[in-house]
Amino acid sequence: MLRAMKKHVYESRLHALQLALVETQLAAAQSGERVVILLEGRDGAGKDGTIKRMVEHLSTRSTRIVALPKPSDRERSQWYFQRYVAHLPAAGEIVILNRSWYNRAGVETVMGFSTATEQESFLRDAPDFERMLIESGIRLVKLWLDISRKEQKARLDARRTDPLKQLKVSDLDAVAQERWDDYSAARDRMLSRTHTALSPWHCIRADHKKPARIAALAHVVARIAPDAIAHEQDLPDPKILFPFEESAITDGRLAR
């Protein structure tokens, strides 16, 4: 069973990883590195909290958090990936997508916001789109934050009763538990179809927020930092963060 992380251990690791991210961004400013970090996961999985710790000490000029609203009528008529292209990084920038083009494989699939043909086209095209980004020089990191049904319920209930979390409440919260199995099926299909050697998914078991955040930051440092910086940090705990593989769907690593 995974356990929570002690406060002093968490704070020490968080400080070291945030410092590594600052040093990485300084290096990116010199080298012109372009980075896209993509976070997906179930409602309540901890994406906002993870991103908050990731960017806490980074430059606001060179770091952008992108969380797009539902598309306008004009955007619906465009090539699906078009509105995301507009937010891709320039030299020295880090862009963090709090949800991304994978909306089409998740909430749009479960809620019927797009057609089956559009969803199939997306699953076919996403690996090619990501290949083009990577071949253009963009560093792409894809993270899936996974939580249990019980933990999701507890977090969604807390949103409704905490006045400071009112802005996190959405109409879709009400169906997250009701459509749990549908979201599981959509997740499994998405990960299976869009995990590639060039653009892999890494999954985080996020029932405990602190170790999940540490694993996410450690993975980002390992993927985007210069070797001299990355080698100073411990790798993520493999019990918490692991590369997606088909067996994870059935062996208990991904919540059912």
**Coil, strand or helix at 203:** strand
User: Which residues does residue 203 pair with via DSSP β-bridges, in sequence order?
Assistant: 144, 242
CB 189 within 8 A of CB 122: no
Taking the model in full, what pTM does it have? 0.95
Q: What is the 3-state secondary structure (H, E, C) of 67-97?
A: CCCCCCHHHHCCCCCHHHHCCCCCCCCEEEE
**Residue closest to 154 by CA, chosen among 232, 106, 209:** 209
pLDDT tens per residue, the chain (256 residues)? Answer: 567 789 999 999 999 999 999 999 999 999 999 999 999 999 999 999 999 999 999 999 999 999 999 999 999 999 999 999 999 999 999 999 998 999 999 999 999 999 999 999 999 999 999 999 999 999 999 999 999 999 999 999 998 888 888 888 887 787 999 999 999 999 999 999 999 999 999 999 999 999 999 999 999 999 999 999 999 999 999 999 999 999 999 999 999 9
**117: helix, strand or coil:** helix
